Structure 1
Amino acid sequence: MSQEWLWITIIIIGLLTLGIRLSFIVFMGKMQVSPIVQQALRFVPIAVLSALISPALFFPHGSLEVSSSNIRLIAGILAILIAWRTKNVLLTISSGMACLLILQIFVSLH
């Protein structure tokens, strides 16, 4: 694929993505959404985030690894507990990453 076609493809995909997202913003302001759909849409961010994070926690090397040697899972559990107790996003992310960093250093020493 030539450089020109690559840029044309990137621009077209970007415009399509913008159009799809903009259509929701424009049309959601003009129409009423039923309460059942509104209630279901509340869970979309949680479902998407879970789908992105779960493979990294449970399948760090390509296969299911639920053990004490899975440091990503340990850091993830700590982050989940902090998120549940504090409801603070910044504290959750920073503590989960700090735990993962400390565990990686500790495991590499042994």
Structure 2
Amino acid sequence: MEQTTIFLTLLGMMAATALPRILPLLLLSLKPLPKWAMAWLRYVPVAILSAMLLPSLLMIEGKLSFGKENLFLIAAFPTILVAWKTRSFLGAVAVGMGVVALLRLQG
């Protein structure tokens, strides 16, 4: 493949990645959003994180697992409790890692 083709491909990929991110930012920054839209947008990160996290908590090797062999599901409960009570990301990560480590030592 020649250099021009590679360069144009990279520019096209850059535009395809950047434009969907930049255009909404530019368009939405022109005027303030209504209160209902701002309230709705606050839930987007939580919804995305939940959608990404839930399958890894509930499934082991492609099958649903609610038993004691699912260490990550067991560790999720104290981790969520610590995150909710302390609002500390670092504390929640430390508790989650600690619980998984302890469960692996026992098993």
TM-score, with structure 1 as normaliser: 0.78
Q: Does 1:70 align with 2:70?
A: yes
Q: Does 1:33 align with 2:33?
A: yes
Residues 54-82 of structure 1 deviation map (CA, whole Å, 9 limit, x = unaligned): 00100122111112221110111121111
| Percent of residue pairs bearing the same amino acid type | 27
Q: Distance in 1 between matches of 2:61 and 2:11?
A: 35
- Alignment check: 8 A CA contact 1:79 1:92 kept: yes
Runs of 5+ unmatched residues, structure 1? none
Shift of 1:48: 0.3
Q: 1:1-110 to 2 correspondence within 5 Å?
A: 12-107=12-107
Q: Distance in 2 between matches of 1:95 and 1:59?
A: 21
Q: Distance in 2 between matches of 1:70 and 1:81?
A: 18
Runs of 5+ unmatched residues, structure 2? none
Q: Distance in 2 between matches of 1:7 and 1:104?
A: 49
Which amino acid counterpart does residue 86 of structure 1 have in structure 2? T
TM-score, with structure 2 as normaliser: 0.80
**How many residue pairs were aligned?**
105
Which amino acid counterpart does residue 31 of structure 1 have in structure 2? K
